[in-house]
Amino acid sequence: MDKVIVRHIAPTLQDHFSNETHPVLKKIYWHRDVTIPSEVDYHLNSLYPPDQLLNSGKAVACLIEALTRQKRVMIIGDFDADGATSTALMVSALRDLGFKHVDYLVPNRFEYGYGLTPEIVEVALKREPELIITVDNGISSIEGVAIAKAHGVGVIITDHHLPPDQLPDADAIVNPNQAGCLFPSKCLAGVGVAFYLILALRRYLRETGWFIQHQQQEPSLSPYLDLVALGTVADVVPLDRNNRILVYHGLRRIREGHARPGIMALLAVANRDHQRIVSADLGFALGPRLNAAGRLEDMSIGIQCLLAASLLEARHLASRLNALNEERKLIESKMQKDALAVLEAVSFLTSQETLPKGLCLTEPHWHQGVIGIVASRLKDRFHRPVIVFAEGEEGELKGSARSIAHVHIRDVLSDIATTHPDLILKFGGHAMAAGLTLRKKDFERFKMAFESYLANNVADDLLTNQLKSDGELSTECFSSQFALLLRDSGPWGKDFPEPLFDGKFYVSDLRAIGEAHLKLWLKPEADSQPVEAVLFHVDKLGWKPELQDYIHIAYRLDLNIFRGNQKVQLVIEHILKV
């Protein structure tokens, strides 16, 4: 789909920044509704306190009993990057706080499905846990919790997904999105919720003199912030101020070389310099490599990497994750081509008018572990909600949904489930992503219900793929100093997007980089100094810029470092002929 470059309209608000704040940075903040310096003050003591999380006290009481009696604790996580970082954090933090018997288990998505299912509880019971703690899952696991409780096993649920009407009968549920929770930030990732529970536990132990009584040094929790940053960005939760504080300090630890061996090893296989890492690197380089384990094999490989005690061990595991990610790319590429062929066959690619407001696709041979990322790619390409299904067990289809702003995909599924009560077997998720299960024979009926709901409830203008620009930059801003200022003014991410600019340029020179990319030298005016730019995947553009073309581009500022030399570079996100 064609993208439209539009400029932000700055709110008519009085800002309270000092005159020392760069005027372009002020404008960028205005576009993100930030007008007071405290919104970009990222001191750790500005985090919301953990006692505002509903049931955090109950959960701490369960943990204190487990610690006092040295119960066997089992962490059960999800099979994505948020689940892996949550599991690694909870396992290592509890051990550091004095728990001697902490184990973990991650469901294989192909055998057990998502969450604390009855099947995964049966597997866990073989290890004789006395307390199960879920991370990044569990809010819908009514049957699994009931089975664990029936066997005398306590259950603490930590999750961030939207809760169903009926909650599991756990000993404690910590989820900022559950009814009655007054925690101001509803955007915590699963790893953020896990971190907050550990914060609450450590504070209780400190206030009751536990560390002094047991002659134990109180552990710092800062070393876990690299995990929190990685899981938060990889799960694409909104970066409200509280999440930005967590990510800011996680990135800072990584840049200073204080990250755990597993993260350093993942950076190495992704060819990322830890000193220059930004939040986008967590989302687009590290996150996919972790996710590849859960998509194709077993997320335990990713968790082992994050828990590795030495760089040597971590490098071996990171290499395996990298190889899985390469395999995932091949599978994903084939599925994308298949999906586009299906759409082409019904003429959806040739006419905007015939394109439905939502896409619902399945093929018998599609890989269940990759449907989520294919849905995401198609959503980005066509700018509308997408659900991709793969075959599950016993005549079922497993679906992964991705959505766009202002179309809450879990609410869409909830409405369909209400109006067609026999159609969806189960579903869960949040605004931008969800999962569901159907009977295979009901696919066409679900597709019709999905398309009908969107046709009747989604306005046409929401489907316009807009690139929001922060405006035009003067040539004085094409400097490494300004690019560094922008980098250090983040972290940028969902709902706090990295600055994007636009402008018109003459192409003064260009050359190919490999088979699919272009290096360009652009001039704002015919007689001005050229600035370097890079355009990735020019093969998907449909045309190729040529010398002396006059083009309109949307771009990000980046730094290109080669042999110690540092140069500003425009990374082109979209390009149009003028």
pLDDT, position 104: 96
From residue 17, give the alpha-carbon distance in Å to each of 29, 289, 429, 469: 10, 40, 38, 22
What is the DSSP-derived secondary structure letter of residue 496? B
**Could you give the CA distance from residue 192 to residue 246 in angstroms, rounded to a whole number?**
8
Tokens 């991705």, residue?
402
- Could you tell me which residues come within 8 angstroms of residue 429 by beta carbon, excluding any fewer than 6 positions away? 161, 162, 401, 409, 410, 413, 435
- Could you tell me which residues come within 8 angstroms of residue 148 by beta carbon, excluding any fewer than 6 positions away? 116, 121, 124, 125, 132, 154, 155
| Residues forming beta bridges with residue 73, ordered by sequence position | 102, 131
Pairing of strands 131-135, 386-391: unpaired
Task: For the chain, list the domains and their CATH numbers.
Answer: 4-37+467-577 (2.40.50.460), 48-321 (3.90.1640.30), 346-463 (3.10.310.30)
**Could you give the CA distance from residue 149 to residue 168 in angstroms, rounded to a whole number?**
11
- Residues 398-430 as b or e (16 or more Cβ within 10 Å = b): bbbbbbbeebbbbbbbbebbeeeeebbeebbbb
What is the DSSP-derived secondary structure letter of residue 162? P
Report residue 297 as tokens: 């094999």
From residue 89, give the alpha-carbon distance in Å to each of 66, 75, 84, 158, 442: 18, 10, 9, 13, 40
Report residue 176 as tokens: 């900022």
pLDDT, position 174: 98
- Is omega for the bond preceding 491 within 30 degrees of 0, making it cis? yes
Q: Note the pTM of the prediction, 2 decimals.
A: 0.90
- What is the pLDDT tens value at each position of the chain, 578 positions in all? 468 888 887 666 667 888 889 999 999 999 999 989 999 999 999 999 999 999 999 999 999 999 999 999 999 998 889 999 999 999 999 999 999 999 999 877 666 667 899 999 999 999 999 999 999 999 999 999 999 999 999 999 999 998 988 999 999 999 999 999 999 999 999 999 999 999 999 999 999 999 999 999 999 999 999 999 999 999 989 999 999 999 999 999 999 999 999 999 999 999 999 999 999 999 999 999 998 888 787 789 999 999 999 999 999 999 999 999 999 889 888 988 888 888 877 666 655 557 889 999 998 889 888 888 889 989 988 899 999 999 988 889 999 999 998 899 999 999 999 999 999 998 888 888 899 999 999 999 999 999 999 999 999 888 888 889 999 999 999 999 999 999 999 999 999 999 999 999 999 999 998 888 999 999 988 788 899 999 998 877 777 888 889 999 999 999 887 767 788 999 999 998 88
Instruction: Report residue 545: phi and psi, to 5°.
Output: -60, 150
DSSP per residue, 432-478: SEEEEEEEGGGHHHHHHHHHHHHHHHS-GGGGS-EEEE--PPPGGG-
Asked whether the beta carbons of 234 and 81 are under 8 A apart, the reply is yes
pLDDT, position 369: 84
pLDDT, position 348: 67
DSSP per residue, 498-534: PP-EEEEEEEEEEEEETTTEEEEEEESSTTSPPEEEE
SS3 readout for 47-98: CCCHHHCCCHHHHHHHHHHHHHCCCCEEEECCCCHHHHHHHHHHHHHHHHCC
pLDDT, position 428: 84
Asked whether the beta carbons of 116 and 76 are under 8 A apart, the reply is yes
Report residue 205 as tokens: 């132990």
Give the residue among 375, 360, 366 at the shortest CA–CA distance from 334.
Answer: 366
| Residues forming beta bridges with residue 158, ordered by sequence position | 135, 174
- Could you tell me which residues come within 8 angstroms of residue 56 by beta carbon, excluding any fewer than 6 positions away? 50, 174, 196, 197, 200
Report residue 341 as tokens: 């062929």
Give the residue among 102, 96, 174 at the shortest CA–CA distance from 132.
Answer: 102
DSSP per residue, 196-227: HHHHHHHHHHHHTTHHHHTT-PPPPSGGGHHH
Report residue 63 as tokens: 């943990």
Asked whether the beta carbons of 324 and 297 are under 8 A apart, the reply is yes
